[in-house]
Every structure is written in structure tokens, then in C-alpha cells.
Amino acid sequence: MIVSLWEIQTKELLNLIEMEIREVEESLSLLKQEKWAIEESLRIYAKRMGAERTKATQPLTQEDIEGKSNREILHLIAERCNGMLIGKDAVKLMKNANLFANPDNANSIVYNILNGYPAEFVKISKGVYRLNGGNKIPTPPKHKTKQVGLLRQTIRELKEKHPEMTKKEALDFLISHGFNFGGKRPGPAVHMAWISMGYHKTPPMQSPNPLSSAVEQLSLEPHSTKGGLPF
């Protein structure tokens, strides 16, 4: 039996097609497995988030709100949900706890706080925020004299804790940690405070990498807001 060249080539082509079909079927099987794994992850995530949200929307008690500002209460609500905060849930909780003299102003009050402290409440989507667990510097009062005093106090305590810190490093630290300069330009404000405290007369101490070492240490140390500093 004589087999033509065309027949040989056609059979080879069919074999190649069959191999490709098997590869596609294997890929399809893998994709189905991945799809199932993703769906299962989403199911578990939705179940966990549902439980967390239920916990986060538990009514505020008198003990929860006594002696706390609205900002501190928003911290508490976020902490109940592992740092996540849904704006409309927070508004509802705080209205139910009678925290507003005029409930009609609840939305504007809550969202003004959430959007006014981006170093603390990081917006991740519309109406959803994440509580920043890093260092936070309190917003200074609007009064200019007090504001300048807090800036000087903050710089003084930074220098006492890290004598090697330069003016630029202090400026970078304050900006990266959300210090509110009250509408002033950060560079000139820090420069004037630096000069007024006489630090420009002190030669900077040498260190292998002063900015990273100072900032990393500040970020790792326990901190409190006492005295106007985040540590």
C-alpha cells in the first residue's frame, strides 16, 4: 500500500491538533481549579468580613463614648473591624448613640473628620477607610502662636531623641507623618523654627544613614500623643 506524501503530512497535522487539544483541555482543567480556589477564597473572605462588620456595627455603649471626642470614637469603631471603617456605618452608630446635637449634620461631621486626618484615616475607596496604625502627629491648634509652639516642641523632642537628625530629616519626618502646618509652607516653617532654637549653630553629627535610622527607629518605638509627639 502506497501512502502519499499528502496523507503523511495530513496525519502529522492531525496529531499536532490532537496534542494542542489535550494541552488546551489540561489548561482548562487548571483554570477551573484556579476559579474554584478564587471563589472559595471570596466566600471565606465575605464570611469573615460579614462577621467583622457585624462586630463593628454593635451599638456604642456609654462606656465607649464617655470622655471621648468624635475622632477617638471613629478610632474605636475602626479598631472593632481590624482597622477598616465604613463611613455610613460609623454615621449610623454615632447617630444612634445621640452624639450629635443636630443629627442632620452627622454625615458632614463624620466625613470632615475622616477626610481631614488622612494620616490616620486612609481612604481606600468611596466611603471606606483604613485606620493607619503608624505614627500620628496631632493636628496643632489653629491659633498661630500655639501652632508655632507645637512645631518647636515637636522638633525639640525629635532632636533630644535623635541628636543626629538634620533639618531636612526633621522636615521629611514631619511631612511623611502628617503634621498639620496650618496652611504654612512646611519648608520655611521648619527653617524658621530650626533657626529660632539655635540648631543651625550646631554642626550635624555624622551617622551612616541618619535619615533612615532616625525615621525607622521612630516608626518602631512605642508612642503616645503626650507632649505633642508620636512616641
Which amino acid, residue 156?
R
Q: What does the pLDDT read at residue 216?
A: 44
Q: What does the pLDDT read at residue 95?
A: 92
Q: What does the pLDDT read at residue 134?
A: 45
Residues 229, 180: Cα–Cα separation, whole Å: 13
Per-position pLDDT tens, the chain of length 231: 566 788 888 888 999 999 999 999 988 888 888 888 887 777 766 666 665 555 556 888 888 888 888 889 999 898 888 888 889 999 999 999 998 889 899 999 999 999 888 888 998 888 889 888 644 444 444 445 555 678 888 888 888 788 888 999 999 988 888 888 877 888 888 998 888 888 876 555 544 444 444 444 444 344 443 444 444
- Is residue 55 classed as helix, strand or coil in its secondary structure? helix
Q: What does the pLDDT read at residue 114?
A: 92
Q: What does the pLDDT read at residue 151?
A: 86
Q: What does the pLDDT read at residue 93?
A: 92
Sequence-ordered alpha helix ranges (H) in 57-200 = 62-65, 70-80, 87-96, 106-116, 144-161, 167-176, 186-196
Residues 185, 174: Cα–Cα separation, whole Å: 12
Q: What does the pLDDT read at residue 202?
A: 59
Under a CB-based contact definition with an 8 Å cutoff, are residues 193 and 152 in contact? yes
User: Own/partner pairs for 209-212, CB < 8 Å, 24+ apart?
Assistant: 210/162, 210/164, 210/165, 210/166, 210/169, 211/166, 211/168, 211/169, 211/172
What predicted TM-score, i.e. pTM, was given to this entire model?
A: 0.39
- Is residue 138 classed as helix, strand or coil in its secondary structure? coil
Residue 205 DSSP code: P
Q: What does the pLDDT read at residue 107?
A: 92
Domain ranges of the chain: 1-56, 57-131, 144-228
